[in-house]
């Protein structure tokens, strides 16, 4: 197999958005147009309708939200497409942030009525930090919304990125007639009076000044010409290089629910989106064209198949060819592991793969060997950077609600914490377990999954904490003194590292001032 050719035909990207912008619906329609599924599912909490492919967990189906990143791969136009559908809810942002370390580009979905929302801005900050190329899809055009020009200004100001529309709506809201594809110079119109159907054939239309335009869109022709003239005057011609540098966002308009504007988005994405990029490590930069395999674990998911209670580690391949039944070196453990049934994904549907290439996401059956951030190589000792673990902001004591199920609770907590959905601390004062999260909803998800996946019931008790921070020092005497003085506020995390549990901003500030040789960390790379 030609490795160089396989690298260049791979596109791995994440779909990100504020909750309810239509992110999972867009993912469904991309799968539909890509031929990966035949019926697109609904995201709403409705037991009668087919649920979204990417929302495979029971709690996702019940609540109508995504609470975990799902991976979907398919072939389209001789390209290997890997989509990672991420949670939009801010309570699960940590999963999304880590997912962004495993993709080469991003599609941001924005609600045409609500515009740029707070979670969209936060996610864009991560993309900007990594210089990840971004395409914007303005969704829900079939509903009354903001003026497209106002939306472009808002995207530019709020997301701090240049924009260039590559499609433009004809009409708006309930009078939406279709979209003019500026990139391919084609009309894409609704067929008939019902907005649920899109004409299958796009109409090639290079010259919108032609009187033939009226034959297709009637009175809307004049407005479209004015808008396009204004666009061409304000925005420079599209150049792919600023997009690949992360400085320019191509903008598409459409309605994912009605399959509208999605095909243009997918076709353009395939042409301009980057193939796998070099990845930084603590030793050197790894090129995807290198012959030897390297990759890192960016996600772990327990119980993807509740019938088998299996646990999968998600491996992002950075270089070389991954082959089934071949031993690879686990850098942290210092030993070789062999995988007999590596998986490719369509959300929770999996198939065994014999080989995979840079940019691909492979699921590895895990018996407890992996944690997030682990590296696999063919013997080289290196560690990929930029996979963060954030300091929790909310804390609860977790207690066993059923004394007969203490083993199940311990196993469930252990495996769920490995996923990175929350963090577990053991208090040095009384040995009690403390769960820390970045969002309230995570406590509900943990409780639900413990009961339904592990048969264990837990209850929470309040604890007044401000921040958990990892500590380390080269001054052993000062470190020992600190741990002795702050014994009641000390804990260890799942990996045995020392953690200081500050109960107030003042407490943290005083600790930092009185113990200058101790470093306090608010993020910890796994």
Q: What is the pLDDT of residue 305?
A: 58
d(CA 141, CA 164): 18
Residue with tokens 């066993």: 400
| pTM exceeds cut of 0.85 | no
What topology is assigned to 3-171+236-272 in CATH? Rossmann fold (3.40.50)
Strands 311-319 and 294-302 come out as antiparallel
Please indicate whether the domains covering 3-171+236-272 and 394-521 agree at the CATH topology level.
no
Residue with tokens 């472009």: 152
d(CA 54, CA 41): 9
- Among 13, 16, 11, smallest CA distance to 86 is for 16
Span 437-485, pLDDT tens digits:
877 888 988 898 899 888 999 999 999 999 999 999 999 999 999 999 9
Considering the domain delimited by 394-521, tell me its CATH architecture. 2-Layer Sandwich (3.30)
Contact 196, 258 (CB under 8 A): yes
Of 111-120, 278-287, 306-315, 322-331, the poorest mean pLDDT is in 306-315
d(CA 88, CA 22): 10
Q: What is the pLDDT of residue 197?
A: 46
Q: What is the pLDDT of residue 520?
A: 92
Domain ranges of the chain: 3-171+236-272, 279-377, 394-521
- Among 516, 477, 519, 475, smallest CA distance to 498 is for 519
- Among 417, 416, 434, smallest CA distance to 425 is for 434
pLDDT at 252 over 90: yes
pLDDT band, very low/low/confident/very high, at 390 (cuts 50, 70, 90): low
pLDDT band, very low/low/confident/very high, at 70 (cuts 50, 70, 90): low
Residue predicted with more confidence, 69 or 158: 158
Q: What is the pLDDT of residue 127?
A: 87
Mean pLDDT of 269-282: 93
Span 310-355, pLDDT tens digits:
778 889 999 999 999 999 999 999 999 999 988 886 544 567 888 9
Q: What is the pLDDT of residue 321?
A: 95
Record the tokens describing residue 52, joined without a space: 């979204």
- Among 107, 87, 92, 126, smallest CA distance to 30 is for 107
Q: Across all residues in the chain, what is the average pLDDT?
A: 83
d(CA 176, CA 220): 10
Q: Kindly tell me the burial class for residue 211, based on how many C-beta atoms sit within 10 Å of its own C-beta (0-12, 13-18, 19 or more).
A: exposed
pLDDT band, very low/low/confident/very high, at 517 (cuts 50, 70, 90): very high
Collapsing DSSP to helix, strand or coil, 90 comes out as: helix
Q: What is the pLDDT of residue 45?
A: 35
Q: What is the pLDDT of residue 474?
A: 93
Distance between terminal CA atoms of the chain? 34
Of 43-52, 145-154, 338-347, 423-432, the poorest mean pLDDT is in 43-52
What topology is assigned to 279-377 in CATH? Rossmann fold (3.40.50)
Note the maximum CA span of the chain.
85
Contact 325, 340 (CB under 8 A): yes
pLDDT at 90 over 60: no
* 3 state SS for 132-189: CCEEEEEECCCCCCCCHHHHHHHHHHHCCCEEEECEEEECCHHHCCEEEECCCCEEEE
Span 161-175, pLDDT tens digits:
999 999 998 887 777
Q: Which residues pair with 251 in a beta bridge?
A: 136, 165
pLDDT band, very low/low/confident/very high, at 186 (cuts 50, 70, 90): confident
């Amino acid at each position: 197999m030609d490795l160089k050719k396989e690298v260049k035909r791979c596109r791995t990207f994440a779909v990100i958005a504020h909750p309810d912008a239509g992110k999972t619906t867009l993912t469904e329609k991309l799968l539909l147009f890509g031929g990966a599924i035949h019926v697109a599912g609904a995201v709403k909490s409705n037991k009668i309708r087919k649920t979204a492919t990417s929302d495979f967990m029971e709690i996702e189906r019940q609540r109508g939200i995504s609470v975990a990143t799902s991976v979907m791969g398919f072939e389209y136009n001789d390209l290997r497409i890997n989509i990672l559908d991420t949670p939009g809810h801010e309570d699960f942002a940590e999963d999304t942030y880590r997912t962004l370390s495993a993709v080469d580009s991003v599609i941001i979905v924005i609600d045409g009525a609500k515009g740029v929302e707070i979670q969209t801005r936060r996610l864009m900050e991560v993309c900007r930090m990594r210089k990840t190329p971004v395409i914007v899809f303005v969704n829900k055009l079939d509903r009354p919304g903001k003026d497209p020009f106002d939306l472009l200004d808002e995207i530019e100001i709020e997301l701090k990125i240049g924009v260039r529309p590559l499609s433009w709506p004809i009409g708006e809201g309930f009078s939406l007639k279709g979209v003019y594809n500026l990139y391919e110079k084609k009309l894409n119109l609704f067929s008939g009076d019902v907005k649920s159907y899109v004409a299958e054939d796009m109409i090639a239309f290079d010259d919108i000044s032609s009187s033939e335009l009226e034959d297709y869109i009637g009175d809307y022709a004049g407005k479209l010409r004015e808008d396009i003239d204004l666009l061409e005057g304000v925005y420079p011609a599209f150049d792919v290089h600023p997009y690949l540098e992360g400085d320019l966002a191509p903008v598409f308009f459409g309605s994912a629910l009605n399959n509208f504007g999605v095909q243009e988005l997918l076709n353009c994405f395939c042409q301009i989106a980057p193939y796998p990029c070099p990845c930084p490590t603590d030793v050197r930069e790894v090129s995807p064209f290198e012959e030897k395999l390297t990759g890192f674990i960016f996600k772990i998911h327990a119980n993807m198949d509740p019938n088998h209670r299996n646990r999968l580690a998600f491996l992002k391949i950075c270089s070389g060819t991954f082959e089934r039944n071949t031993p690879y070196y686990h850098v942290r453990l210092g030993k070789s592991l062999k995988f007999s049934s590596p998986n490719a994904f369509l959300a929770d549907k999996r198939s065994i793969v014999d080989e995979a290439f840079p940019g691909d996401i492979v699921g590895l059956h895990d018996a407890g060997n992996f944690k997030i951030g682990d590296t696999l190589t063919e013997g080289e000792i290196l560690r990929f950077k930029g996979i963060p673990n954030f300091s929790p902001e909310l804390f609860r004591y977790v207690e066993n609600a059923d004394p007969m199920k203490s083993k199940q609770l311990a196993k469930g907590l252990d495996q769920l914490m490995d996923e990175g959905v929350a963090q577990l601390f053991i208090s040095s004062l009384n040995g009690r377990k403390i769960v820390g999260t970045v969002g309230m909803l995570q406590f509900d998800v943990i409780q639900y999954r413990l009961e339904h996946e592990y048969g264990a019931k837990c209850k929470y008790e309040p604890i007044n904490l401000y921040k958990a921070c990892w500590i380390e020092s080269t001054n052993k005497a000062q470190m020992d003194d600190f741990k002795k003085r702050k014994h009641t506020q000390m804990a260890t995390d799942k990996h045995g590292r020392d953690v200081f549990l500050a109960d107030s901003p003042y407490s943290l500030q005083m600790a930092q001032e009185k113990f200058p040789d101790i470093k306090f960390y608010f993020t910890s790379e796994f």
